[in-house]
């Protein structure tokens, strides 16, 4: 069992006891353009949303803040995987946005997934599942996740059944998983016992979200592959076909893959869907009951794909509709219909060359967005 020192424990308890400060301060905010931390670019629909800068810590380099999780008391938690740390970010100046980051857990292995549930923060890191309790204790629940040679776990989420769900990648581009539990989603009781295999056939299962009782997971194809990236709806026992029955292999062999499931939705190859959350608040009504997905972007293709925050609406049958880009918003010009997302990024009006990493929802229904370079942004109503 790992423990953080007494000073950190005391600070964390102070954060918990001060719950509600962010929500209270958020009730009476000046217009977006009058806010000190107004951000433009990346461009956003300013008639509906305000984009603000929360915090920058360039000392942490590209992955200073990756996975995010918001607690009901307004505290924003952020992972710094390469340093093995988790931060709690709180609103110390009472302007409605968290601004001060404090290390609340360290000496972790590649913390790369966060979820807050009933006064505890669950952390997926390397082969471990950790639980940070309200008293500052970090307990190792699982120490043998089958992460393989990559060393990285995917993400963790607590389901409506009060079980933990963890995504595990394969760690390679075209190999068969060394274990059935790789390229898969596992489930555990909240104390880390009762491991169960939920779904298989994912190459690089990313973030997960529950929406309307359904579990969703992102999946990325090899970075140099023409295959599209995926959003998958998950049910117990599902097989999504990787690697023997992915779309490229099926096309080459002429097989129909009757025993594996197609994706519920695809993204252009190289989009790299990474972070995801369900938005159920009424604060941003156009986003209610949608999935929000960060598209981390292409690395090995000449095209600029991804580098965006996408919103996915779900129809009355529970099926996803086509993804719509929320940031950067496409804008019209006088001589043509508008710039594409790739053009927006190339022209400096998008995220590029930074990459969006994760997205979380605050108690009052605002969005928090982590991007490379140690930055966290917020989206609130305009």
pLDDT of 201 > 70? The answer is yes
Which SS3 state, helix, strand or coil, does residue 87 take? strand
Helical H runs in 246-372? 247-253, 341-346
Q: Please report which helix (H) or strand (E) contains residue 15, including its range.
A: helix 6-17
Domain tally, the chain: 1
Examine residue 248 and state whether it is found in any structural domain, yes or no: yes
Short-list 170, 62, 72, CA closest to 115: 72
Over 60: is that where the pLDDT of 334 sits?
no
Q: State how far the Cα of 124 lies from the Cα of 113, in Å rounded to an integer.
A: 5
Q: And the tokens for 18?
A: 């001060």
pLDDT for 218 equals 96
| Token pair for 72 | 């009901």
| pLDDT, tens digit (0-9, with 9 covering 90-100), for 339-353 | 888 888 888 899 998
25 is a domain residue? no
Does 27 map to a domain?
Answer: no
Dihedral of alpha carbons 83, 355, 77, 182, sign: negative
Instruction: Cis check for the bond before 48: say yes or no (omega within 30 of 0).
Output: no
Compute the distance between CA of residue 107 and CA of residue 120 in angstroms, rounded to an integer.
18
Output the pLDDT for position 12.
Answer: 44
Q: How far apart are CA 321 and CA 319, in angstroms?
A: 7
Half-sphere exposure of 129 (CA within 13 A, CB side): 28
Distance CA 264, CA 122 (A): 28
Task: Using the predicted structure, report yes or no on whether residue 106 has a pLDDT greater than 90.
Answer: yes
Confidence of residue 94 (pLDDT cuts 50, 70, 90): confident
The verdict on residue 213 lying in a domain is yes
What lies within 8 Å, CB to CB, of 302 at 6+ separation is none
Whole-number Cα distances in Å, 23 to 63, 109, 167, 264, 340: 28, 32, 32, 36, 36
Give residue 14's pLDDT band: very low, low, confident or very high (50, 70, 90). Answer: very low
CA–CA separation, 1 vs 69, rounded Å? Answer: 22
In a domain, residue 24? The reply is: no
Tokens 């359904």 correspond to what residue? Answer: 214
Measure the CA–CA gap between 9 and 126, rounded to whole angstroms: 24
Q: Which residues contact 121 (CB under 8 A, 6 or more apart)?
A: 69, 71, 77, 86, 114, 115, 131, 132
Distances (CA, A) of 64 to 78, 81, 345: 9, 8, 22
352 three-class SS: coil
Q: For position 245, which CATH number holds?
A: 2.120.10.30
Percent of the chain with pLDDT over 90: 59
**What is the residue-averaged pLDDT of the chain?**
85
Residue 7 is assigned to a structural domain of this protein: no
Beta bridge partners of 182: none
Mean pLDDT of 13-39: 59
So what's the pLDDT on residue 332? 62
State yes or no: pLDDT of 13 exceeds 50. Answer: no
- pLDDT of 296 > 50? The answer is yes
Domain that holds residue 40: 33-381
Give the pLDDT of residue 376.
Answer: 96
Q: Over 50: is that where the pLDDT of 17 sits? A: no
Is the pLDDT higher at 287 or at 26? 287
- Flag whether pLDDT at 25 surpasses 70: no
277, two tokens: 């959350």
**Domain assignment of residue 11, yes or no:** no
Confidence of residue 301 (pLDDT cuts 50, 70, 90): low
What pLDDT, on the 0 to 100 scale, is given for residue 225?
Answer: 74
Q: Quick check: helix, strand or coil at residue 12?
A: helix
Which tokens in the block code for residue 10?
């005391």
Decide if 132 is inside a domain.
yes
Is the preceding peptide bond at 353 cis, omega within 30 degrees of 0?
yes
Determine which of 21-35, 252-266, 298-312 has the lowest per-residue pLDDT on average: 21-35
CA-based nearest residue to 312, from 258, 255, 241, 233: 233
């Amino acid at each position: 069992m790992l423990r953080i020192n007494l000073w950190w424990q005391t600070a964390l308890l102070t954060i918990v006891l001060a719950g509600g400060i962010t929500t209270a301060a958020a009730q009476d905010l000046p217009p977006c353009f009058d806010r000190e931390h107004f951000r433009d670019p990346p461009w956003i629909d300013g008639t509906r949303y305000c984009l603000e800068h929360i915090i920058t810590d360039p000392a942490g380099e590209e992955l200073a803040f990756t996975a995010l999780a918001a607690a009901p008391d307004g505290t924003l938690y952020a992972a710094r995987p390469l340093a093995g740390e988790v931060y709690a970010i709180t609103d110390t100046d009472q302007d409605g946005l968290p601004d001060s980051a404090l290390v609340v857990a360290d000496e972790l292995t590649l913390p790369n997934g966060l979820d807050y549930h009933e006064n505890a923060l669950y952390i997926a890191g390397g082969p471990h599942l950790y639980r940070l309790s309200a008293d500052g204790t970090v307990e190792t629940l699982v120490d043998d996740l089958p992460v393989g040679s990559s060393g990285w776990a995917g993400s963790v989420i607590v389901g409506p059944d009060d079980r933990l769900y963890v995504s595990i990648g394969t760690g390679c581009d075209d190999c068969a998983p060394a274990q059935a539990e790789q390229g898969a989603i596992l489930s555990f009781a909240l104390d880390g016992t009762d491991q169960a295999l939920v779904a298989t056939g994912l190459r690089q299962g990313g973030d997960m979200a529950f929406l309307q009782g359904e579990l969703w997971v992102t999946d990325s194809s090899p970075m140099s592959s023409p295959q599209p990236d995926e959003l998958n709806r998950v049910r117990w026992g599902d097989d999504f076909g990787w690697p023997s029955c992915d779309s490229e292999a099926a096309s080459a062999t002429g097989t129909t893959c009757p025993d594996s499931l197609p994706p519920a939705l695809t993204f252009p190859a190289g989009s790299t869907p990474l972070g995801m959350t369900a938005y159920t608040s009424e604060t941003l009504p156009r986003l209610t009951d949608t999935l929000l997905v960060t598209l981390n972007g292409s690395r090995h293709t000449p095209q600029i794909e991804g580098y965006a925050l996408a919103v996915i609406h779900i129809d009355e049958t529970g099926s996803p509709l086509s993804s719509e880009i929320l940031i950067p918003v496409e804008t019209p010009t006088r001589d043509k219909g508008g710039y594409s997302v790739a053009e927006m990024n190339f022209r400096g009006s998008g995220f590029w060359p930074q990459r969006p990493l994760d997205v979380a929802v605050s108690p009052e229904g605002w969005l928090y967005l982590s991007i490379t370079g140690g930055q966290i942004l917020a989206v609130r109503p305009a």
